[in-house]
Amino acid sequence: MSIGPVQEAAELDGVPVRVGGKGKEQNVPIVLEGVDGFYSCVASRPLAREIARYLFVTEIRVSGRGSWLREADGRWQLQRFVIQDFRVLEDRPVDEVLRELREVEGSEWKETEDPIAELLCLK
């Protein structure tokens, strides 16, 4: 038995692969390609224009409100996602990020023997 739709605030990560559509709708269709597949979203025209600057090249994190259905097999299926904001995700080497974390005053990363293992535990 499926459950839903359930609406909640959420974030999605992906590269914009489509921005726009036909008509003069207030909300513009946006498709993000993420690690789990494609996400169909909508955003206001001004926000869609900003997101279009990253089309095909940059991974972004969108935040907003999603509508989800839980399928009979337990998987959650995104039905609709309204983007309210976004930010560009940095593409930097892990060792560079860890070096910066170790320099933060009061950080315990300096004493961590295996920071990669610690990061994997956070997931």
Q: What's the pLDDT score for residue 57?
A: 92
Q: Give the angle 100-106-110 at the CA atoms, nearest 5°.
A: 55
All structural domains of the chain: 3-88 (2.40.50.140), 92-123 (no CATH)
Q: What's the pLDDT score for residue 23?
A: 65
Q: Walk along the chain (123 residues) in steps of 10 and give the mean pLDDT of each run.
A: 87 96 81 94 95 96 96 90 96 81 80 78 71
* CB 74 within 8 Å of CB 1: no
Q: What's the pLDDT score for residue 9?
A: 96
Q: What's the pLDDT score for residue 123?
A: 58
The model carries a pTM of 0.74
